[in-house]
Structure 1
Amino acid sequence: MAQKPSIPKGTRDFGPEQMSKRNYIFDTIRSVFKLYGFQPIETPAMENLSTLMGKYGEEGDKLLFKVLNSGDFTKKITDADFSERKIPQLTNKLSEKGLRYDLTVPFARYVVQHRNEINFPFKRYQVQPVWRADRPQRGRYREFYQCDVDVVGSDSLMNEVELIQIVDEVYRRLGIRTVIKLNNRKVLAGIAETIGAADRMIDITVAIDKLDKIGLDNVNKELVEKGISESAVEKLQPILQLSGTNQEKLTQIEEVIGSSEVGMKGIEELREIFGYLTLFDLDVEIELDLTLARGLNYYTGAIFEVKAKDAVMGSITGGGRYDDLTGIFGLKDVSGVGISFGADRIYDVLESLDLFPKDSITTTKVFFVNFGKEEELYCLPIISKLRKAGISSEIFGNNAKMKKQMTYANAKGIPYVVLVGESEMKEGVVTLKNMETGEQQQVSVDVMIETLS
């Protein structure tokens, strides 16, 4: 019996309609990236595990897809290795490569490897799939696309402001109402220092980053389980429950962590960013959220997260400042900042809110009914002329029954149908039918091109 075809959990097939909608998202995002002077690059799907491991924290490392070595991948493994079941050591011997977890670490590797070819500051964008061995659920997949935009080689906070403008422009074009959650990892470091747990900043940030998902009580429980003292957790509570305007929150947190030099540096950076933003008329709402941590270890400054206001969905864009990500590859003191748009979540939001434009799924604008060989010979040069004018056109492959051909045009959502019979050929015209209104008229080819353009 033939095997029933299937695909791995957390991955998906995309049909023509879905791909048309996805390309609408990609094209919109790319056009905004280009508008701000960013250049495209691509990196391989696989990276050396040495490039990826240790860059995403302990939880992130667990979500890396490892690729078995080619050939006899067990040749370096002894019976003792198997019997001791030391998974990290086994993994190192079985796998030297892994699928990329995000686009930022491969980008840092790219910058270091190609530093003699790059002009700094380097503004790049990248639209490619990434893979995470996560538990599949709504809005969370094992294979998904990221649309990244980064600036490296500049520590100017104007870059953060430009990224916020990019977020605003992308979602304005897509029609999604959004809010940007903004924080700074230096402020979080200042909080950890103030509550007497400076050496536990990673544990603290990983826990409070889950506040929206698991609630305050569970965050507190996780902090205690990670070994944070109950007195430190108690000191953290007012910070986790700040309220008011952005400026009021900054004033309140300054009163709490004012003795921390690194914390005050973070507050200054946030104030400077908010000052720049007053110069622009932005649609997006910007909210200072001091519980936002973003669990990735490489962030050192401003951090961003974007959520849709009208859809139940996690973050649809996120990112932040990383002051020395390239340092792990031997290129010190190259600061960068970037954000990543989650195309798959954006797709789900657009779909749930019915925001995809109708023409985003239309691939063919004009369909020519095939009535026979003579009509084919008459229509083919016209189709060529339409295509040269940038109007997507096609003709049915044979002179099948009219009903079959019209069913095909309807199924593809083609807005116009051209009918050419004996009288049209004799008069040198075509009959153009609007499939939405049912109206049809005889027109010359030039008039048809003008109408459809």
Structure 2
Amino acid sequence: MKPSIPKGTRDFLPHEVRRRDYIFDVIRRHFRRYGFQPIETPVMENLSTLTGKYGEEGDRLLFKVLNNGDFLRKADPQQLADQQSDAVLPQISKRGLRYDLTVPFARYVVMHQNDLAFPFKRYAIAPVWRADRPQKGRYNEFYQCDADVVGSDSLLYEAELTQLLDEVFATLGLKTVIRLNNRKILAGLAEIAGHADRMMDITIAIDKLDKIGEAGVEKELLDRGVDPAAVDTIKQFLGVTSLEKVAPLLADSEVGRRGIAELQAVFDRVGGLTNRLEFDVTLARGLDYYTGCIYEVAVDTDAHPDIRMGSIAGGGRYADLTGIFGGRDLSGVGVSFGAERIYDVLEELELFPEDASKDLDYLLLCLDDESLIHGFELLGKLRRAGRNADLYPEAAKLGKMMKYADQRNAPRVVIIGSREAASMQYSVKEMATGEQTTRSLRELEAGSL
């Protein structure tokens, strides 16, 4: 049998894992600096927890987990014979893989609310699963890096999360555009168009503008039953690029005016940023649970014109997600970094630091069996001193060992023969330059090369 993995998943080589760890470490460091605390939730949730939270498209993309044992035992035979999938599913599957980290967080807050201090700021870095069609930048299994705060309506958190997005991408050396909108503005748009009850249909269509264009959005709106006059009204908003210009269009909508005021407060409080910050009235974010400010981050194509990638981070305010699980109605807001896409972009732009894919300080190479014994003792001393070190496990030809050092991506090798073992003065070769020096044990332990 030829070994394979499911489509939409990936194996990672050691240097790739180290680069991913670099991304996670940068993000985690900023999460902690902003006061977010780590939590963990199971990779599986009850389907009752997951369904109905992500919209009609999201529900279709949930990975369902079959019940244990004879999962067909409780299935209705006639419904099976008639291939009534929607009817049979609840009978054979009660659990699913998590689709994101936000809904499990809301469930977590409700279950542990008596143990938490509110506002509660949490972060999580973990894999999620979506049964989407795999393509560039889109996988069935991928990591999200989330920061959320729940238990406060303060718009200071929206401003803080904008600053967090900016600082993370500035640290990674990636120029981005941070786009903001507010779902209340979209609700106002639907109200002005005469379809306040069809906000989700309008939102889902607008969210696809960058993929299907204005003509595609118009067709989808019509297909969803929005009348032509309303479509013409909606199209007036699509080219608006500032809050000042959208305000007159929403003058007759109270909810729309609230959305503009909230977003203006965020812009006023953010301060100077490294990356571009823009208002985007077409930004909709397709998830049902967003109710206020929404974020999306994309690579700045002015700075990186050759990059073609979708959003690399996003998020927003959700006012009543915890109430769905029977808990107190706690407002929350959060952002999520798409680690897989960030990795692909950094790799394409060669923005990873040179040492991001290295994990060794030294690789020890011993020229004879007696030196090998000495080398193993030296290895222990270097590790106890806090150096990352490894040893080629036998005395072999130097060329063979140097080839292994190249394959291990070792930055430097320590060559040990009988003379070095006796004098404890070691030959150290820099693999990048070929420069060779002599160093003492103390210098090796201190890492002063």
TM-score normalised by structure 1 residue count: 0.96
Alignment partner, residue 9 of structure 1: 7
In structure 2, which of residues 406, 412, 422 is the aligned counterpart of residue 426 of structure 1? 422
Alignment partner, residue 399 of structure 2: 403
Q: Give the Cα separation in 1 of the matches to 2:126 and 2:438.
A: 46
In structure 2, which of residues 327, 332, 336 is the aligned counterpart of residue 331 of structure 1? 327
Contact 2:37 2:123 survives alignment (8 Å) = yes
**In the alignment, does 2:305 pair up with 1:312?**
no
Contact 2:372 2:395 survives alignment (8 Å) = no
Q: Give the Cα separation in 2 of the matches to 1:441 and 1:22.
A: 33
Return the offset for 1:429: 1.2
Alignment partner, residue 246 of structure 1: none
In structure 1, which of residues 262, 267, 271 is the aligned counterpart of residue 260 of structure 2? 267
Unaligned runs of 5+ residues in structure 2 are none
CA offsets 1:239-287 (integer angstroms, 9 cap, x no match): 01113xxxxx21221111111111111000011001102xx33101101
Letter in 2 for 1:297: D
CA offsets 1:36-75 (integer angstroms, 9 cap, x no match): 1111111111100000000000110000000111111111
Contact 1:132 1:142 survives alignment (8 Å) = yes
**In the alignment, does 2:219 pair up with 1:221?**
yes
**In the alignment, does 2:237 pair up with 1:239?**
yes
In structure 1, which of residues 75, 83, 87 is the aligned counterpart of residue 81 of structure 2? 83
CA offsets 1:177-207 (integer angstroms, 9 cap, x no match): 0010100000100010011000000000000
Return the offset for 1:435: 1.4
In structure 2, which of residues 154, 158, 161 is the aligned counterpart of residue 160 of structure 1? 158
Alignment partner, residue 48 of structure 2: 50
Letter in 2 for 1:380: F
Deviates more, 1:67-76 or 1:436-445: 436-445
Aligned with 2:146: secondary structure?
strand
Aligned with 1:369: secondary structure?
strand
**In the alignment, does 2:368 pair up with 1:377?**
no
Aligned with 1:418: secondary structure?
strand
Return the offset for 1:434: 1.3
Give the 5 Å matches for 1:166-245.
Answer: 166-243=164-241
**In the alignment, does 2:270 pair up with 1:250?**
no
Q: Give the Cα separation in 2 of the matches to 1:221 and 1:232.
A: 13
Alignment partner, residue 287 of structure 1: 278
Return the offset for 1:451: 4.5
User: Using a 3 Å threshold, how does the CA distance of structure 1 residues 438 and 164 change in structure 2: closer, same or farther?
Assistant: same
Aligned with 2:115: secondary structure?
coil
Return the offset for 1:150: 0.1
Return the offset for 1:426: 2.5
Alignment partner, residue 432 of structure 2: 436
Q: Percent identity?
A: 54
Alignment partner, residue 391 of structure 1: 387
Aligned with 2:336: secondary structure?
strand
Aligned with 1:196: secondary structure?
coil
Aligned with 1:115: secondary structure?
helix
Contact 1:391 1:452 survives alignment (8 Å) = no
Aligned with 2:428: secondary structure?
strand
Contact 2:191 2:253 survives alignment (8 Å) = yes
Letter in 1 for 2:299: A
Contact 1:321 1:338 survives alignment (8 Å) = yes
CA offsets 1:58-95 (integer angstroms, 9 cap, x no match): 11000000011111111111221123332221111110
Letter in 1 for 2:251: G
Aligned with 2:367: secondary structure?
coil
Letter in 1 for 2:218: N
Contact 2:110 2:328 survives alignment (8 Å) = no
Aligned with 1:44: secondary structure?
coil
Contact 1:183 1:288 survives alignment (8 Å) = yes
Q: Give the Cα separation in 1 of the matches to 2:437 and 2:281.
A: 63
**In the alignment, does 2:71 pair up with 1:73?**
yes
Q: Which runs of 4+ in 1 moved over 3 A?
A: 449-453
CA offsets 1:291-312 (integer angstroms, 9 cap, x no match): 0000000000000000011221
Return the offset for 1:365: 1.7
Q: Give the Cα separation in 2 of the matches to 1:89 and 1:18.
A: 43
**In the alignment, does 2:145 pair up with 1:147?**
yes
Alignment partner, residue 25 of structure 1: 23
Aligned with 1:404: secondary structure?
helix
TM-score normalised by structure 2 residue count: 0.97
User: Using a 3 Å threshold, how does the CA distance of structure 1 residues 281 and 251 change in structure 2: closer, same or farther?
Assistant: closer
Letter in 2 for 1:261: E
Alignment partner, residue 296 of structure 1: 287
CA offsets 1:2-30 (integer angstroms, 9 cap, x no match): x1111111011111111111111111110
Q: Give the Cα separation in 1 of the matches to 2:5 and 2:439.
A: 49
**In the alignment, does 2:358 pair up with 1:362?**
yes
Contact 1:206 1:295 survives alignment (8 Å) = yes
Q: Give the Cα separation in 1 of the matches to 2:123 and 2:66.
A: 30
CA offsets 1:426-450 (integer angstroms, 9 cap, x no match): 2221111111221112221112334
CA offsets 1:349-384 (integer angstroms, 9 cap, x no match): 001101111101111121110223321222233222
Give the 5 Å matches for 1:104-123.
Answer: 104-123=102-121
